[in-house]
Structure 1
């Protein structure tokens, strides 16, 4: 919403300038709030610029040297996209190596498609062979995935555009330009810098905590908490968690994967991030029970520590009872955590700059092509789905059946269960249908306006890959608009062609969904079982580390892993609550996830208090740990049955149950209590 115009702003020109500046400021604030390190902006910009520069270079070559076939431009576009999205190596040298291998695979597949063009049946079977090989390449990790995508999309374009042998030398310029320009754009125009991104993430953390405090100040002034307030604060808590996970992921790790020493600046920063996250959660939990005094919240926001401590110790707070004192103490803890993060972030600017970039290098493992590997089973699924899509796509069109195969192939990208595949297929179909409606209207309005069409197409490419990590439906929507605009530019935009694209997309989506559910299905339930097993394992390691007296940083690190495991669990369980799912009971699912969230919260409380104690564990804590360990063993033995069990009432992080011990023992008590409540009598 635009702010009111100040009285000092007079005249139409000044008013317009003020409105533009206000709008731009609001847009920047919103952008930073959803993308603190601007990683999504860089992703969209990399892909867009790589495409534009590659096409411009090919056009210059076309007019200055020799005319180029259409396959050169098509390969430059699609491989610029794959180079920006699929190549995820950490260093520029490794990225270049992946791109060069992918380029070689691309040239091989183009040549193979041209060689087999005269033998349609053989060519179609070869396409399935390429799909199988590209899918199996994922066994080799991220590089295998990228090379497989280069190979698949290149054969796809070769079979679709049918280059001749005479055109192959010029067609090779497309991959070469895409690889070279994509690498230069990523290395020099939009380089990756973990220190820059970490500073941005830390700043965003502080900003989101301030947003929470402002909201708490409103509650304090009103003196009551509504259901809408609870929902909004939980949403703000989730936004903070997103940034915390980003910041923790950006922290440099040692090559051998071991924890840093306690005097390492990385350790100090990691502890400060953890402490701020936990104190913010506690402030929300306690304030929802009893809103803190307005003066106290204002003192925390302004950084006045003396005033905050004075208000927290006042008679008014003491008269409010235990909940009022807990609320005030949570605010003081949050204030200390904010100041600690500020100090640690100040160290980071100078201290971490001198530290080598330590990353976790996964030990080399032998590729597993056995049937036990889910990637191998997924490769079989992808190939069968592509074959089905190919057969039914050919019934519709001998020239454009490739769209059906493309959809079937992409349906299985980044999916781990049949539920994920079905959701992805549905998102692609909906995004394509809506994109055709908007794209047809845009291409019709811009007919004959080449410059405007190119500008709009570029903007849609940017938006497509800006939203890549947010929504696959939005990616499909914007890409479809781009295709409509391109068809309009080359004079091939017809309603029949667009309807055929929708039909082919639906065929591919249905084929992918059918195979996901029928052929070697990986059920959502089994995927949830795996994610839940990782969560249980992370919690067990945390409890064992504390019981065995490991370092405080090790316990905090394991607590962060538990938080990440919870996030993986929410993603795995997401299809269980979808309206289309065979398991249509979102009530128990939401309640169960809330209990796991609460357990993760109290596990972090336990880890924090253990780290703060700095002394051997007393018998109460050891007893509480053993009780939590026993509850964990019982719950883990039943796997994901808890998601099908109705709970007596929703559970939030702060109202789990009364605890009879204090400090670290209280956290372990709450963990045991929540785990026991997963299966109520």
Structure 2
């Protein structure tokens, strides 16, 4: 295999549909092209001030991250508004430069409005980010009013390049992205099969094998969810009619997910022969048949595991056939049906309004960071405000904010150390600094979706290189930046814990209620005998609800909880994950036999009552250590008549949450 193919396989394995690669490439290309054009203008026409470059880079980055409108025309409108907003904020900061105390207060007003404006939708979220970053740039670089034309030029070029990169150079292509995502799904299925084959050759199943298979299962889930996002199977877009190619593909993805999970569940109970696993990997039907014949009927569980492997082989072939019939037009979105205009979002301006509470939190944290940052430096306090503002971005609870503050501080520290070493070795050589800086920008935003600390690390390296290029890099300057970052991070975390705190318990409560609602909706649809694709859609919604639940529980597993929490948290999450899996089986089996719901009415009713009980208890499951009952010793027949088993196992999974309590584990100590 060539290096290029190995690289592609590695990227697909870690980045389904190349979504992270595309986002990082867009941002890097926009920054590089915009700066190159401004440099050319600088030497050909007239010199440009640093603020023009700073604003262009800022808008290039935010243009790649914050502009998420659905269509190209909507994105263009947002970018035009962003240019106006950005130039206005820089101009305002410049006009108030002589009145620093007034400028500082206005900065806090800008922060409040930028955050509260998010209540009006995605476009206003983007404009708020542009407003904050532009005022930050203006206050930091201090352009004069006569430099306004240069600022307009920098902002306009960055917006134009960002739009061209997004729509022409690296456009969204649902068909291509779906093909890549499905290739990633198939690759992750192969990883599962290789893991099972390796485990099957050992005399005993090791704990490490179990952990690896569960980790591979999570990776498969990520790839399947990514692939499903390109097909109209949920409430985001009208679902395709049964029989459509896209509908067949949606069912195929659902089946391959279920089949792979079944292989893992059954293999952990009784490993299938390695020869059968190898035959499935090689797509050798003859070897599969001989392997099945050699098993006989002696070991029922091992036989079921082997049958699950054959089922996985079958659904993979069916998915490939559906994919071969797919054309790009099958994924086109139909024009939206005429509907009355939705009511415009309105500002309630009440402390009961989460948007207002969030705006107050972030503004207060920024104000505290500003005060203590000014104590450290009148010139560099902006870094503290930047850290305080950004640690609240995309967080659900005070625990999330604390984790993000810790990650930002750690990433900054590591980045400063590496950046200082790199800058010292390079010595400000422009031909090395510029490409290395571009590479660090790419890596920062490639890793942003998976590691905020890694993103902060690479951004800190870029800043160190930039300082070396400007000739102002000193250890004292980098030390000051670290101190300002710590001030902002601590201010953000402190406010998150003290002012309108949203506990992890509260976020978990909401996530569990949402999960129970999705489970109840699936069961209700099954009781009504709903069509197959609709049941699949309900199951996919339950999958997404489980992922939200796992994300809400994430702060409970951070370092300060390692002694008392993570084992119990993982056990509790495993119960919800198992229940989600069995609900998926119910959806699949009942979609194949829509006449069967009457046979399972009593079981469905029992499960609905259990789901209601779980909904009422909420996050308490994660905060009280209980003796989680051992899994019931059942295995999954892969025949078509096991909807009853699926319903039974949903009930068993939910009942495991109510096993006898052992001891309190910090019941009143939620994050």
TM-score range, shorter chain: over 0.9
Q: Which whole-Å deviations, capped at 9, do the CAs of 1:5-54 have from their partners, x for residues lacking one?
A: xxxxxxxxxxxxxxxx8665544432221013111111111111111111
Structure 1 residues 193 and 309: CA distance shift in structure 2, 3 A = same
Partner of 1:344: 322
Is 1:663 matched with 2:630?
no
Q: How does 1:239-388 map to 2 (within 5 A)?
A: 239-252=219-232, 257-305=237-285, 307-309=287-289, 311-312=291-292, 314=293, 316-320=295-299, 322-349=300-327, 352=330, 356=334, 364-370=342-348, 371=350, 372-388=352-368
Deviation larger for 467-476 or 246-255:
246-255
Is 1:449 matched with 2:432?
no
Question: For 1:340 and 1:582, how far apart are their aligned partners in 2?
Answer: 44
Q: 1:511: Cα distance to partner?
A: 0.5
Segments ≥4 residues shifted beyond 6 Å: 357-363, 656-659
Structure 1 residues 179 and 458: CA distance shift in structure 2, 3 A = same
Query: Which sections of structure 1, spanning at least 5 residues, go unmatched?
Result: 1-20
Q: Which whole-Å deviations, capped at 9, do the CAs of 1:414-443 have from their partners, x for residues lacking one?
A: 011100100111100000011000000111
Structure 1 residues 582 and 341: CA distance shift in structure 2, 3 A = closer
Question: For 1:360 and 1:270, how far apart are their aligned partners in 2?
Answer: 27
Q: How does 1:250-649 map to 2 (within 5 A)?
A: 250-252=230-232, 257-305=237-285, 307-309=287-289, 311-312=291-292, 314=293, 316-320=295-299, 322-349=300-327, 352=330, 356=334, 364-370=342-348, 371=350, 372-580=352-560, 584-619=564-599, 621-649=600-628
Q: 1:374: Cα distance to partner?
A: 1.8
CA contact (8 A) 1:221 1:294 kept: yes
Question: For 1:601 and 1:583, how far apart are their aligned partners in 2?
Answer: 29
Partner of 2:205: 225
Is 1:92 matched with 2:58?
no
Partner of 2:668: none
Of 95, 106, 120 in structure 1, the residue corresponding to residue 86 of structure 2 is 106
Structure 2 counterpart SS, 1:222: coil
Deviation larger for 87-96 or 468-477:
87-96
Question: For 1:179 and 1:592, how far apart are their aligned partners in 2?
Answer: 47
Question: For 2:191 and 2:235, how far apart are their aligned partners in 1?
Answer: 37
Question: For 1:495 and 1:191, how far apart are their aligned partners in 2?
Answer: 42
Question: Scaled by the length of structure 1, what TM-score is found?
Answer: 0.92
Structure 2 counterpart SS, 1:456: helix
Structure 1 residues 143 and 190: CA distance shift in structure 2, 3 A = same
Deviation larger for 299-308 or 104-113:
299-308
Partner of 1:17: none
Structure 2 counterpart SS, 1:318: coil
Structure 1 residues 570 and 354: CA distance shift in structure 2, 3 A = closer
Structure 1 residues 254 and 32: CA distance shift in structure 2, 3 A = closer
Deviation larger for 429-438 or 354-363:
354-363
CA contact (8 A) 2:590 2:596 kept: no
CA contact (8 A) 1:317 1:324 kept: no
Question: For 1:481 and 1:93, how far apart are their aligned partners in 2?
Answer: 36
Structure 2 counterpart SS, 1:670: helix
Q: 1:581: Cα distance to partner?
A: 5.3
Partner of 2:659: 680
Q: Which whole-Å deviations, capped at 9, do the CAs of 1:287-339 have from their partners, x for residues lacking one?
A: 12111123322332232345534543x2633111x212211221121111111
Of 96, 102, 109 in structure 2, the residue corresponding to residue 129 of structure 1 is 109
Question: For 2:340 and 2:180, how far apart are their aligned partners in 1?
Answer: 27
Question: Scaled by the length of structure 2, what TM-score is found?
Answer: 0.93
Structure 1 residues 477 and 297: CA distance shift in structure 2, 3 A = same
Structure 1 residues 358 and 366: CA distance shift in structure 2, 3 A = closer
Question: For 2:5 and 2:353, how far apart are their aligned partners in 1?
Answer: 50
Question: For 2:290 and 2:561, how far apart are their aligned partners in 1?
Answer: 55
Question: For 1:101 and 1:113, how far apart are their aligned partners in 2?
Answer: 18
Is 1:210 matched with 2:194?
no
Is 1:196 matched with 2:176?
yes
CA contact (8 A) 1:134 1:147 kept: yes
Partner of 1:14: none
Q: 1:361: Cα distance to partner?
A: 11
Question: For 1:360 and 1:319, how far apart are their aligned partners in 2?
Answer: 62
Structure 2 counterpart SS, 1:646: strand
Structure 2 counterpart SS, 1:87: coil
Query: Which sections of structure 2, spanning at least 5 residues, go unmatched?
Result: 661-671
Deviation larger for 233-242 or 643-652:
643-652
Structure 2 counterpart SS, 1:52: helix
Structure 1 counterpart SS, 2:626: coil
Deviation larger for 84-93 or 466-475:
84-93
